Each structure stands twice: as structure tokens, then as C-alpha cells.
Chain A
Amino acid sequence: MEETLKSLNIDSGTLIDNISAGKGLKIFKILNLKGETVFLFINAPGERFRVKDLIAVKNCFLGEKETLKVALISPGATVRRIENFELKPERHLEIPKHLTDLFKCPNSKCITNKEREPVKPSFTVTQREPLKLKCDYCDRYLSREEVEELIVSGK
């Protein structure tokens, strides 16, 4: 991979690896990488004859919120820092028990959607596999697919 980074001239930045095939474009969109040099690999060869997507971004590092969004869209993805064309140790993305202020609750009657009310949307993970979240305010349950849709649509 380091050779590839050299050929792409990414001496510093971030590599998001092991993205489930088909999710790369969605992750590219949510990261809102305007003006950055980005390489998106779709259906790249992965382990055991499987294909995967990858994203390499020059001079850009993911914040906590972006990292969590990546984990929610593609739970198996890994994030690695690139320094001097070298890949730093892999960081497996863990979804914490509580998620705050990442996306809105889809229930329009939820208090977190009330205009000007000083409350952030927050959710508790009630099941990891398959992922299931519950709104801490209105008790609405969300599947991983719904979460992905909310993140991608920017809601």
C-alpha cells in the first residue's frame, strides 16, 4: 500500500480501508472533502477473494464525529494515518454505547426536533449485531440501514 501512496503522492493524510464494497461513495459524500485530494477505490481486491472500497485523502485527518459516521455506515472499516508515505497502525472503529449529535431523530414529533429547543439528538445502542439504536428522548428504534440513510442524507 505504501508504494501506492508514493505513486499517488500522498505523504500525509488518511486511509480508510476495508470499507464494505458499495459504501465507498457514500462515505466520500458524508466526509464533505471539498478541495482535498481524494482517491476513491471501488471494488478493490480484499481478503478471501472479497472486494472492498478504499478512500485515501491527502493532508486531511478525520475528527471523532466523521470517524463514527464511517463506522456506522461500514462497521468493518479501519482508519489509518499516513505520515511520510508510511501507514500508522490500524484503528478499528468501535461504535460507543451512546451517540450524540451525529444525526437527527427521524421522528418529527421528537423533542430533539423542536426548533430552538436546547437539546441534542442522542441515541443508545440497544443491539450490536445487527445494529439497533434507540432515541434517548422519544424511544424510537432505528436500524443500521435507517441510520445510514440519515447520515448520507445529511439529516
Chain B
Amino acid sequence: MTLKGRDIVSVFDFSRDEIEYLFKKAEELNDIRRGRTLNIATGKLAAITFFEPSTRTRLSFTMAMKRLGGDILDFGEVERTSIAKGETLADTIRMIDGYGVDLIVLRHPSEGASKLAAEVAEAPVINAGDGSREHPTQALLDLYTIWREYSCIDGLNVGVMGDLKYGRTPSSLSYALSMFSNVKVYYIAPKPLQIREEVLSRVKGKIEYLKCEDLREVIDKLDVLYVTRIQRERLPHPEDYEKLKGLYTVTPSSLKGCKDNLIVMHPLPRVTELSHEVDEMKHARYFQQAVNGMVIRAALIKEILGL
């Protein structure tokens, strides 16, 4: 099995076998988790090209490359680059690619930006989020976190809650889950922020799913609760935010009646949708999830670079 030179634009650029192979490869990199640097990517350079603010994903890719012993070329904030002067994405990517980097990690607000970048660059491109479309490595780290907990993905009941319409993590996670068997997904969201039909049409027949508006209706069925943030400005009537905020906030009391081994996940950053009291509960996995992100990205980079 080889991922060498592969562009990762979508979750669908992986097969189920490749995803599980990456999980095993990530486990071999557990020294990274303990803060060790491996010298297997010495002399390799990854370009970190982020056209949107990001903390976790940017740091996670940077740390993954550095822990592998490689280096990064980060072009910094967009405001301080030629993009602010109106340079196109294609030109920026061609220029960076021309420097001979080994990998390009791209985050961009336009949907499909990573596909365009992959078309113009010789070096492999990893999509680190493009608009509301996809965030494939987020899905990979989400599945990896679930897999580390349950040793499998098949047969699990996963609740995805919050802004499912505009968030890119719910779509990528749904696509990734659709590669496994007998997975049931509960989409828990207010109607205006429910999962997009185009996402459902791609997973139809592959996962069983149910849309609902109240976590309490399904909490006892879930093995995984994946929480995302609802943003006031996304709602058709922003004044509804205060009312919805309570309904879509996870607290110890909203987890009453849950399975003993339920895990609560969140792509972070969180605001008010996940109370700090949950941090102390045995169900919380979001900080481990963030660390898993660095390890699985290191495994992915290692495989794409053929190391």
C-alpha cells in the first residue's frame, strides 16, 4: 500500500484500508506523542500556506513536520503577502512549488481551492480546509480518536451536533464514516443548520442516519458525541442564538443517561457549546483528539513523502 505523492483534496482520496493503515502507522509514531523528534524527514520541506486564520491545524501540521525531523516554509499571515495585492491562488502555489518544496499544506476560504492547487503544483497538496467543503485530515484525526477508543469504527452510533450546515468538519466526518459498516449517525441541529442535502446524497445507503433537534432524544444511544460550534451570524434570525445556545450546549447534565463508555469530541476551538465542567468527566476526549491530530498528520506526511 502506498500513499507516496498522493494529493489529499477529499476524504474520498483515501480508501477504508488506507485509513486503517494510517492508524497503524500513527501508532508506530507514538514517540512523537512523548515529545521526541524523529530524524526521518531530514532535508524535507513542507510549505504551510494558510489563507485563513487557524491555530490548531496550522500548529499541528507544523509540529508534525518538525517532529519528523523536517522543516517548514510558512508564508505567514495573508495580509503580509502578495495575495493582499491581488495575486491569484494558482500563481502563489506555482511560485511556492517552484522552490522545490516536498509538500504543500493549504487552507483557503474558497471551496475547491485545494483541487486547483493540486492541479497546478508538482508537489503533493494536502487540503487543510477549503471553505465549507471539506477538511479531510480533521476527519482522519476524528476517526483515529474513535478508533483508538473502540479499536474499530464499524457498528458505532455517532452523534454530530451543532452547525452541521456551514461547518466543514461534519461533512468530512460523514464521508469518512460512510466508508465503514453499520455506522449510524444522528445529526443533532436546529433545522436551519441541519446537514446539507449534498452531503447526505453522498452518504445515502452507506450509513444509516437520523436528523433530530434535541440531544436528549438520542443521548442514551450514542458511542460518540461530536460537538461543533454554532455561530450567531450563521442563523437566519441571529436573535434566536441565545435560545439555541442553551439547547446545543453540552454540560454534565445534558450527558445524563449516556452510555458509560461514551466519548465526547470537539474539533476545537470551543466557545460556550462545551462547558469546562465536561473536561473533568471521563467522557472528554477533545484534548487527546488535538494531540492525535499531530500524530496522524505526521503519519500521513511520512507516507506521502514515502519515508
Report A's interface with B, CB cutoff 8 A.
107, 109-112, 114, 116-119, 135-141
Cβ-neighbour of B90 out of A109, A118, A137 (below 8 A):
A118
A138 near B116 with CB under 8 A, answer no
Which chain A positions have C-beta within 8 A of B288? none
Number of B residues, CB within 8 Å of A: 22
Please tell me which stretch of B27-35, B56-64, B106-114, B226-234 contacts chain A, meaning at least 4 of its Cβ atoms lie within 8 angstroms of it. Answer: B106-114
Is B66 part of the binding interface, using a Cβ–Cβ cutoff of 8 Å?
Answer: no
A119 to B197, CA, bound (A): 26
The residues of B that contact A117 with a CB separation of less than 8 Å are 88-90, 116
A124 to chain B, nearest CB (A): 12
Chain A residues positioned under 8 Å from B112 (CB to CB):
110-112, 135-139
Main DSSP-derived SS at the B contact region: mixed
Is B245 close to A, CB under 8 A? no
Q: Chain B: which residue is nearest A127 at the CB level?
A: B201
* B44 interface residue per 8 A CB criterion: no
Of B111, B134, B198, which is in contact with the most chain A CB atoms at under 10 Å from its CB? B111
List 21 A-B pairs, Cβ < 8 Å: A109-B132, A110-B110, A111-B89, A111-B113, A111-B130, A112-B112, A114-B88, A114-B89, A114-B110, A117-B90, A117-B116, A118-B88, A118-B90, A119-B116, A135-B112, A136-B112, A137-B111, A138-B111, A139-B111, A139-B112, A139-B134
CB-based contact B115/A137 at 8 Å = yes
Q: A117-B88, A118-B90 given as contacts; is B111 within 8 A of A107 (CB)?
A: yes
In the complex, what residues of B have CB within 8 A of residue A116's CB? 86, 88
Q: What residues of A have a CB within 8 angstroms of the CB of B86 in the complex? A: 116
B interface residues (Cβ-Cβ under 8 A, vs A):
86, 88-90, 108-113, 115-116, 119, 130-134, 197-198, 201-202
Task: Name the distance in Å between B82's Cβ and chain A's nearest Cβ.
Answer: 13
The CA-CA distance from A114 to B112 in the complex, in Å, is 11
**Cα-based distance from A119 to B134 in the complex (angstroms):** 19
**Considering the chains assembled together, what is the distance between the CA atoms of A110 and B89 in angstroms?**
13
Return chain B residues, CB-CB under 8 Å to A136: 112, 115
Give chain B nearest CB distance to A98 CB in angstroms: 14
Q: Are A141 and B201 in contact (CB under 8 A)?
A: yes
In the complex, which residues of chain B have a beta carbon less than 8 angstroms from the beta carbon of A110? 110-112
Please indicate the chain A residues that have their CB under 8 angstroms from the CB of B202 in the complex: 139
Contacts of B198 in A (CB 8 A): 139-141
A111 contacts which chain B residues (CB < 8 A)? 89, 108, 110-113, 115-116, 130
Q: How far is the CB of A29 from chain B (nearest CB, A)?
A: 29
Give me 6 other A-B pairs in contact (C-beta within 8 A), A111-B113, A117-B90, A137-B111 excluded: A109-B131, A110-B111, A111-B130, A114-B110, A135-B112, A139-B198
Q: Would you give the shortest CB distance from B44 to chain A, in whole angstroms?
A: 28
Task: Choose from B89, B110, B116, B197 the contact partner of A109 (Cβ within 8 Å).
Answer: B110
Given A110-B112, A112-B112, A117-B116, the answer on whether A138 and B90 have CB atoms closer than 8 Å is: no
Residues of B within 8 A of A119 (CB): 90, 116, 119
B270 to chain A, nearest CB (A): 25
Indicate if the CB atoms of A138 and B133 lie closer than 8 Å.
yes
Within the assembled complex, what's the spacing in Å between the Cα atoms of A139 and B175? 13
Q: Which residues of B contact A141 (CB under 8 A)?
A: 197-198, 201
The minimal Cβ–Cβ distance linking B118 to chain A, given in whole angstroms, is 11
Point out which of A110, A139, A141 has the most chain B C-beta atoms below 10 A from its C-beta. A139
By Cβ-Cβ distance, the 9 closest A-B pairs, closest first, are A137-B112, A138-B111, A111-B112, A111-B110, A138-B112, A111-B113, A141-B198, A109-B131, A109-B111
Taken together as a complex, chains A and B put the C-alpha atoms of A43 and B201 apart, in Å, by: 37
CA distance A41 to B198 in the complex (A): 39
B248 to chain A, nearest CB (A): 24
B110: chain A residues within 8 A (beta carbon) = 109-111, 114
Closest to B114 in A: A111
Chain B residues in 8 Å Cβ range of A112: 112
Measured between alpha carbons, how far is A111 from B106 in the docked complex, in Å?
14
**In angstroms, how far is the closest chain B Cβ from the Cβ of A119?**
5
Nearest CB to that of B10 among chain A residues?
A139
Complex Cα gap A140–B111 (Å): 10
Question: With a CB–CB cut-off of 8 A, which chain B residues contact A107?
Answer: 111
Q: How far is A55 from B164 in the complex, measured between Cα atoms in Å?
A: 47
Closest-by-CB residue of A relative to B111 is: A138
B132 to chain A, nearest CB (A): 7
